[in-house]
Structure 1
Amino acid sequence: MSIRLKHDLWVIVADGEKALFLRNEGDTKYPNLQVVQEMEQENPATREQGTDKPGRYAEGPRSAIEETDWHRLGKERFADDIADRLYKLAHRGDFDEIVLIAPPQVLGEMRQKLHKEVCDKVKAEIPKTLTNHTVFEIEKLLQAA
């Protein structure tokens, strides 16, 4: 897969807790990704969010109710927030093309939530976790892709 980092291409790098909205201020030969916006969400592990032991069904002593995965729900909500933000930006005409980079699970969540107006502008999806990389490292990885 070849990704052309043309001028004004937007790159969204996300995971379940952080999203970077980057725009290429440079061109295909000399990309220059700049941070347009950052989103963050506090999403501690489920064990830190739950308060009680799992509930039990009335039928018997060993019929525990599965504990809610608050961490996973937080990631799903954050994917919703990213999709909403992208829709507003697309509707305003802020970008013509975007590349989505996120871990496979988050990418799947985002894909389900994206409005058609945004989906039509997605030029590539990369199933990787790059939120802890510098913008420079992201540029280099995209050029190599």
Structure 2
Amino acid sequence: MKTWICVVNRSEAKIFEHGNNRSADVQFVTKLSNPRGRLKAQDINADKPGSFVSGFTTHGMGREKIDSPTEHVAQEFAKQVSQFLYDSCQQHLFEELVLIAEPQCLGRLRGLLSKEVRQCIVQEIPKDLVTAATTTDLKERLWPMSDLRSATI
């Protein structure tokens, strides 16, 4: 059974694969990048004419929050990651999914993941570990009691 490990934050997603036995290596699959995810709100639309409205707007009786530019960019990247996971699930590239994401990103992803992908999730970890995702430190910090602990990264 193939397990994918998806490590995500607002600017990057790294996908790793772990085989079905204890001695299987963790292998890098791919990386999705969102360079705009590193920008500050004032820099996101700096090269575009006009301005970005932020705050609350009134529509009829209710109030609707308009996302900040950074939240909008993060939401768009979460959509990209969720679509990638859906497509990969449909192609049967993984059977189980470990989802590791910074807490806000994890919340965005939960709302966007398809039913098929959600059924594959075996573990969720609300941490931003994208920078540690290529080192053995990742394995030490995340899976001290799991089969993945014996894997090599």
Shared fold, TM over 0.5: yes
Structure 2: distance between partners of 1:22 and 1:8: 10
Alignment counterpart, residue 8 of structure 2, candidates 14, 18, 26: 14
Aligned residues: 128
**Structure-2 residue corresponding to 1:3:** none
**Structure-1 residue corresponding to 2:34:** 41
Structure (1/2) with the larger strand percentage? 2
Partner letter of residue 16 of structure 1?
R
How far off is 1:24 after superposition?
A: 1.1
% identical aligned pairs: 24
Taking structure 2 as the reference length, what is the TM-score of the superposition? 0.75
Is residue 18 of structure 2 the alignment partner of residue 24 of structure 1? Answer: yes
Structure 2: distance between partners of 1:31 and 1:102: 23
Structure 2: 5+ residue stretches without partners: 54-64, 146-153
In structure 2, the CA distance between the partners of 1:54 and 1:17, relative to structure 1 (3 Å rule), is: closer
The two structures, once aligned, show a CA RMSD in angstroms of 2.3
Structure 1: 5+ residue stretches without partners: 1-6, 56-65
Is residue 138 of structure 2 the alignment partner of residue 138 of structure 1? Answer: yes
Taking structure 1 as the reference length, what is the TM-score of the superposition? 0.78
Asked if 1 retains the 8 angstrom alpha-carbon contact of 2:2 and 2:93, the reply is no
